[in-house]
């Protein structure tokens, strides 16, 4: 499943992201080929509904707002609405369930490599709407991490040069 996910979803998304920076399609695919040991994670999780006292204690927040450190993370869409993203107006908004779809989030590594051109998605998990409370929520998640690479922005991108994003410093995971 991990290989199919990478080939059928992650690779085309990485190609589109490279094209968005006016780079060759394979630029980001080659940088993030996910072949390193422990380079990707696939998780299946089952969440049960919370008791009212737990909801009150956490103020209905099941997972606080955060970004993922990876390049891209994916969540297979599910009918129990609990995922929220922080919108540009500063309000948390539910992500609508679309059957047979996948939610793809940009992670911190992609934001760093693009010099901030692609921002990491800030999201949280919140109590579902009243008509969905009490349902068991299933989660299938994919987290894609790069091989050990130098994490520098794509310096040759005409788009990044045009908007004034340049490499400030070099960071290495190696």
In eight-state DSSP terms, residue 56 is: H
Instruction: For residue 171, tell me if it sits in a domain.
Output: no
Range of the domain at 103: 2-162
Domain membership of residue 132 (yes or no) is yes
User: Does 143 fall in a domain?
Assistant: yes
First to last CA, the chain: 28
CATH number of the domain residue 71 falls in = 2.60.120.330
**pLDDT for the residue numbered 152:** 66
- Record the pTM: 0.78
In a domain, 131, yes or no: yes
Question: Would you give the distance in Å from CA 87 to the centre of its chain?
Answer: 15
Is 25 inside any structural domain?
Answer: yes
pLDDT at residue 170, as a whole number: 46
Whether residue 167 lies inside any domain: the answer is no
The rounded percent of the chain whose pLDDT value lies above 90 is 25
Q: Are strands 123-126 and 83-86 parallel, antiparallel or unpaired?
A: antiparallel
Q: Decide if 80 is inside a domain.
A: yes
Q: Are 136 and 47 in contact (CB under 8 A)?
A: yes
What's the total number of domains in the chain? Answer: 1
User: Quick one: pLDDT band at residue 156, thresholds 50, 70, 90?
Assistant: confident
Task: State pLDDT tens for residues 31-75.
Answer: 776 666 656 777 887 877 767 776 677 666 666 788 998 888 898
Locate tokens 């989660």: which residue? Answer: 139
Residue 172 lies in a domain: no
């Amino acid at each position: 499943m991990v290989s199919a996910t990478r080939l059928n979803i992650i690779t085309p998304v990485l190609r589109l992201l490279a094209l968005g920076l006016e780079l060759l399609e394979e630029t980001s695919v080659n940088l993030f080929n996910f072949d390193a040991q422990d380079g990707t994670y696939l998780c299946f999780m089952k969440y049960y509904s919370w008791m009212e006292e737990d909801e009150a204690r956490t103020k209905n927040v099941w997972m606080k707002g955060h970004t993922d450190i990876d390049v891209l993370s994916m969540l297979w869409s599910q009918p129990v609405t609990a995922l929220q993203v922080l919108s540009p107006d500063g309000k948390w908004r539910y992500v609508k369930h679309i059957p047979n779809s996948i939610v793809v989030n940009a992670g911190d590594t992609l934001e760093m490599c693009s010099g901030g051109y692609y921002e990491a998605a800030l999201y949280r998990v919140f109590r579902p709407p009243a008509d969905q409370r009490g349902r068991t929520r299933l989660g299938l998640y994919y987290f894609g991490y790069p091989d050990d690479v130098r994490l520098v922005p794509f310096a040759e991108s005409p788009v990044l040069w045009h908007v004034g994003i340049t490499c400030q410093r070099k960071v290495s995971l190696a």
